[in-house]
Structure 1
Amino acid sequence: MTDHKPDIAMAERHPENESINKPHGLDSEDVKGHDFTLEQSDLPKGYFRSLNFIGSIFCIGANLGAGTGAFALIAPILSFVDADIGPSPNLNWVALSYLLTSSIGLAFVGRLTDIFGRRWFFIGSGILATIGSIVCATAPTINALIAGECLLGLASAGQILYGAPISELVPMKHRFWAQGYAVTWTIPTSSMSAIVGYAFVYQTSVGWRGVFYFLIALNALITVAFFLFYRPPNFSMKHGGRSKVQYIKQFDYVGAFLFIAGMLFFIMGLSWGGSLHPWKSASVIATIVVGFLCLVAFALYETLVPMEEPFVPIHIFKDRAFVIATLMWSLGASVYYANAILWPSMVFTLFASDHGVMWAGWASCLANAGITLGELFVPLGTIFKKRHWQIRAAFFGGSVFVACMATCNQDTFSRAAVLMFFGSLLIGYNEIANSTVITLAVADQREIGTANGIASSLRNCISTICSTVYTTVLANRLASTIPAQVPSALIKAGLPSGSVAAFLAALSGAGKMSAVDGVTPAIEAIGVRAYKGASSDAFRTVFLTTLAFSGLGMVLSIFYPNVDPLLTNKVSVQIHSKGKEDVGAEVKRVDSQV
């Protein structure tokens, strides 16, 4: 009896007789395709030990590792890249190109793979990722590297969208375990990305290009594994004798265009502000406004215009668990990005001078290592039940730990390391717990890719807004605290006032300390300490700023529903062996005739 309750609840949440977004002339079964959900007990004996299942689980997890590494591995060492094949004023576009293409692609991959099947999309993403890695590995200029990162960003839409393909293959009660397994693949490519990147630069002859040589091999292996083992239901199994052309004709091209334009302009404007252009510039303001208006138009179009194949079925937003999990996933990611952006900068600014580059690389990994460890703890939560209370506690604890980073300065590395690690650990728990709930909350599991894709795109958009706020606050505070504290300390120590600008330039890496007129070791030590103090004051403000977003998440968590009843023995999709596609199509046709 317990196993049937979720089905009743899901049916009540999403009645099939809604008029909006219901196809005309086709029943919902024809549009969404055959429902492959079955009980775990109905699976063939030894299914979870079969080569196809194990191979599929392997390539989905490895795919996630490769997708995150496409940018995470190169991001910490971009200054070395710029020194080698630059300098270029377009260096920021290396990050921006990956962010834009992946944010747009996530929703498309989720929706299209729900309709047409996932196999060839993921094989295609592996091929594209391999090509993108080759372009980056051989890039003679920064612009060529940007082109390669564009390809990697597009490919990553089929790589980091791991929640749907891995969740649908296992019983719903084991989805937390499945997603916990997948993130283990991000340990070398995300958690340890800084140290791996520095290791390539300092300890190999190939330098930064070694990152992409590694990704070439990994992506090629993954592509072959997808081809050999990953065989989820394809188009003919989903839709029987229906034509792909018909679905292509019915696709929501207007909604897709508005979504692309909105995400492209909005995220681009946010990323430009304060870095490539001043916030008050017409380029930034116009881009953000146009992007926002396109997203508003997209939401209105999807809600009000009946269509046969909506880009985003609006009814998925009627589920409270899905909406709250998506928002908390996004807000948790905002705290994660605060850690990922601020902590390495804090390490190198406040602590690295007393140790060394490799020490700083290891210390910079603390935040990402905490995130990954927290993600790995998520499966253990199934032992204690009451998942919604676990998410509330983890989000609250992680937010408090990160906010307490405001008490740290250049003399408190141990305290900062402990707070950052445990804050990241709890936020990491929140990350995977919420992303798993998103897959559970989809009433119709045939739309799991669509829901996972749009949630991932929203997460990228919201976390970009938050990270933009953090970087802007940090820049503004540094522009205030450094002039207020450092020059006076230097002049008091005996440095000529005319040498202050040169001293500050040397600290930022734009000059050499030996070239500063009047500097002595004692004056340098005083100036460096004043600079660290001013920087720690700026970091303090940013860590307090995280409370604005984490506080909203804490409020939302109050309304988090209990998802334990959804943890059933049902499996949404079964991997089939080669040659079963036509059999599946025949079964579908027989079913429809009956």
Structure 2
Amino acid sequence: MSASTTPPPASNGSTGDEQQEVKQMEKIAIHDQVPGHDNYYEKNGLRTYGDGEDHDHEPPMSSKRFMSLAAMAFLWTGSQLPMYLYGGVPPYIYGDIGGVDRWIWMTLANLIASAAVCPFVGSLSDLLGRRYVALMGAGFIILGMIVCSTAKVMNVFIGGMTLSGIGAGMAELTALAGTSELAPTAKRGKYNAGLILTILPWCPSVLWSQLIATHGGWRWCGLLGGLWMFLGFLVILFFYFPPPRINSTGLTRKQLIAQIDFVGGFLSVSGMILFLAGLQWGGYQYKWTSAHVLAPLLLGAALLVAFGLWESYGAKYPMFPARIKQAPQILTLTLVITFISGANFISLLMFWPTQSFNVYGHDPVQVGLRGLPVAFCVMVGAVINLSCLSIFKGRNKELLIISCVLMTAGVGALSCADHFSMYRLWGILVLAGLGTGGIIIPAAVITTIICPDDLIATVTALTLAVRVIGGAIGYCVYYNVFVNKFVPNAVKMIGGVMELELHITNVTYIETAIGYTSASLLTLLKTIPGIAGNDTAYEMVVLAGQEAFAASYRSIYYVSLAFGGVAILSACFLGDIGQYMDDHVAVVMH
């Protein structure tokens, strides 16, 4: 009887197991618990567990999972189209609707809007979910395309590019974050490589837009991009249903709203818009010492400083939580490299098409063909490095060093270009494209690997914002360098030909010729007395303008060497992400 009432030895073992489980729970509570959330935890501060899903095995490729990835592909390609299509035909646009004195804002408005909304929208996406952010992004792009393609004046067109920039920021960060969280961590490179490959039909966008603008009118570019994004909108609407966000599960609407950093959102968006707008106005439309430049520049800088202080000391739920810095050195240096690559990417994306147009001729097919090496090689560089991240399970340091060297050497070597050397540039453009492409997207994916699962969109948005800010600052630097070189070169070369060889000494005529040349409105040269009706004189002035452009673009690429040097040094001190490359899946979609 007594024996039967004696607890068996196994119960001692059970007690030990329970004690061990309590210790494990205490460990999770201390080290891995997410502040404000008890429905899941993050192992080692990174990987989601405890929500009842199997995060250690890749789910089979169901139709729901496949269509979700297809939706991300539409978002990715659609986010690039406003810049890809309209960026190749500015002379056709301002030749039709005017605004030659402010046309660069069609590019800058898109960049600034994208950079401004990314950080706030990224944190919202991580908290509220991807679906509605994706739909809003696609909607803004469609609306922007409609406004641009129906614009009668440049200011309205710039407004359309602003709308498309807002949508592009939302769409690109959702595409990269959504794809990354559906893939095992070790395969995020391969999954995103597949995502990037979907841009393949749009790589010849400069060629497409040139042909469309020449034969049908530039407005049809907006119809093409808008229809593509509308198709993507339908795919998202009917097929993209990601599971609820674990970091908002169980929260009331009041608790959910309380976790949105509205103050940080206001400070970051307004600060970035004002700072970047002031930066772009300086030296181009207004003097650096003018109130029009200093007021937004200084106010924007003050708001950004206030944003940093608020995030560090004031916000209960900051847009960028401190736990995002699980590998602070890798994150910081990757962002530095992203900033530099953004500046050099802009030099390729925006300056090379105009250089091709202004230096080597206006034939639409030839302009389009000269844009192919950059477009295809940026894509190939991204795909190669993303694939290698998964194949080698890391080696990000070596991959980024190689890419930074290729980018710096390729972009810098474009300084050898002159009016007669196009044959030399094909290989150089390939190197520049491969190097730049090997950084801009792989860097964003690297940051998702070293951050907590529930902050993937937040860190992706940070990376994209840094890239776009780098691009905007790079554009400002490069454009000011270009303008300061082009004016004296044009006076010397165009004015010299007109005065010394054509004997046109009227200062107004010379200034008019320089103005038409700088705006790429060459047919209007034939309206200037002394050139009108004289094809030889016209060809001489056009050639002088091409030589002035070639000499001026050269300085841009010299400046890029300094940016590239910083990127190479930063890459040399990167840590390896191999220890983070496991089979964990952040979001399980059945």
Give me the TM-score of the superposition, normalised by structure 2: 0.85
Q: How does 1:152-551 map to 2 (within 5 A)?
A: 152-161=164-173, 162-189=175-202, 191-204=203-216, 207-235=217-245, 237-305=246-314, 307-317=315-325, 319-352=328-361, 356-381=363-388, 382-384=390-392, 386-442=395-451, 444-498=452-506, 500-505=510-515, 507-508=517-518, 509=521, 511-513=524-526, 515-517=528-530, 524-551=538-565
Residue by residue, what CA displacement relative to the aligned partner does 1:397-421 show, whole Å, maximum 9, x if unpaired? Answer: 2211211112221111011232122
Match of 1:565 in 2: 579
Shift of 1:90: 5.7
Shift of 1:158: 2.1
Residue by residue, what CA displacement relative to the aligned partner does 1:164-214 show, whole Å, maximum 9, x if unpaired? Answer: 11001011111111211222233344x32211212222233xx32322222
Shift of 1:494: 4.6
- Asked whether the equivalents of residues 72 and 179 of structure 2 are also in contact (C-alpha less than 8 Å), the reply is yes
Shift of 1:468: 0.8
- Asked whether the equivalents of residues 58 and 583 of structure 2 are also in contact (C-alpha less than 8 Å), the reply is no
| SS of residue in 2 equivalent to 1:73 | helix
Pairing partner for 2:146 from 134, 147, 150: 134
Alignment partner of 1:78 is 2:85: no
| SS of residue in 2 equivalent to 1:409 | coil
Using a 3 Å threshold, how does the CA distance of structure 1 residues 16 and 77 change in structure 2: closer, same or farther? farther
In the alignment, residue 562 of structure 1 is paired with which amino acid?
D
| SS of residue in 2 equivalent to 1:76 | coil
Measured in 2, the distance between the counterparts of 1:92 and 1:258 equals 26
Q: How does 1:43-122 map to 2 (within 5 A)?
A: 43-44=58-59, 47-48=60-61, 50-86=62-98, 91-122=103-134
In the alignment, residue 382 of structure 2 is paired with which amino acid?
E
- Asked whether the equivalents of residues 186 and 581 of structure 2 are also in contact (C-alpha less than 8 Å), the reply is yes
Measured in 2, the distance between the counterparts of 1:84 and 1:486 equals 25
Measured in 1, the distance between the counterparts of 2:542 and 2:414 equals 21
| SS of residue in 2 equivalent to 1:495 | coil
- Asked whether the equivalents of residues 164 and 449 of structure 1 are also in contact (C-alpha less than 8 Å), the reply is yes
Match of 1:586 in 2: none
Residue by residue, what CA displacement relative to the aligned partner does 1:544-572 show, whole Å, maximum 9, x if unpaired? Answer: 10011111111101111111222211111
Match of 2:6 in 1: none
Q: Which has the larger radius of gyration?
A: 2
Moved more, 413-422 or 87-96: 87-96
In the alignment, residue 418 of structure 1 is paired with which amino acid?
G
In the alignment, residue 351 of structure 2 is paired with which amino acid?
L
| SS of residue in 1 equivalent to 2:361 | helix
Using a 3 Å threshold, how does the CA distance of structure 1 residues 522 and 141 change in structure 2: closer, same or farther? closer
| SS of residue in 2 equivalent to 1:573 | coil
Using a 3 Å threshold, how does the CA distance of structure 1 residues 540 and 93 change in structure 2: closer, same or farther? closer
Using a 3 Å threshold, how does the CA distance of structure 1 residues 132 and 539 change in structure 2: closer, same or farther? closer
In the alignment, residue 220 of structure 1 is paired with which amino acid?
F
Number of residue pairs matched by the alignment: 547
Measured in 2, the distance between the counterparts of 1:219 and 1:432 equals 21
Residue by residue, what CA displacement relative to the aligned partner does 1:83-106 show, whole Å, maximum 9, x if unpaired? Answer: 444458664443343223221221
Match of 1:585 in 2: none
Using a 3 Å threshold, how does the CA distance of structure 1 residues 569 and 279 change in structure 2: closer, same or farther? same
- Asked whether the equivalents of residues 55 and 586 of structure 2 are also in contact (C-alpha less than 8 Å), the reply is no
Shift of 1:268: 1.0
Q: Which runs of 5+ in 2 are unaligned?
A: 1-27, 43-47
Moved more, 416-425 or 275-284: 275-284
Measured in 2, the distance between the counterparts of 1:219 and 1:164 equals 19
Give me the TM-score of the superposition, normalised by structure 1: 0.84
- Asked whether the equivalents of residues 37 and 573 of structure 1 are also in contact (C-alpha less than 8 Å), the reply is no
Shift of 1:143: 4.1
Moved more, 226-235 or 542-551: 226-235
Measured in 1, the distance between the counterparts of 2:464 and 2:550 equals 33
Shift of 1:133: 3.3
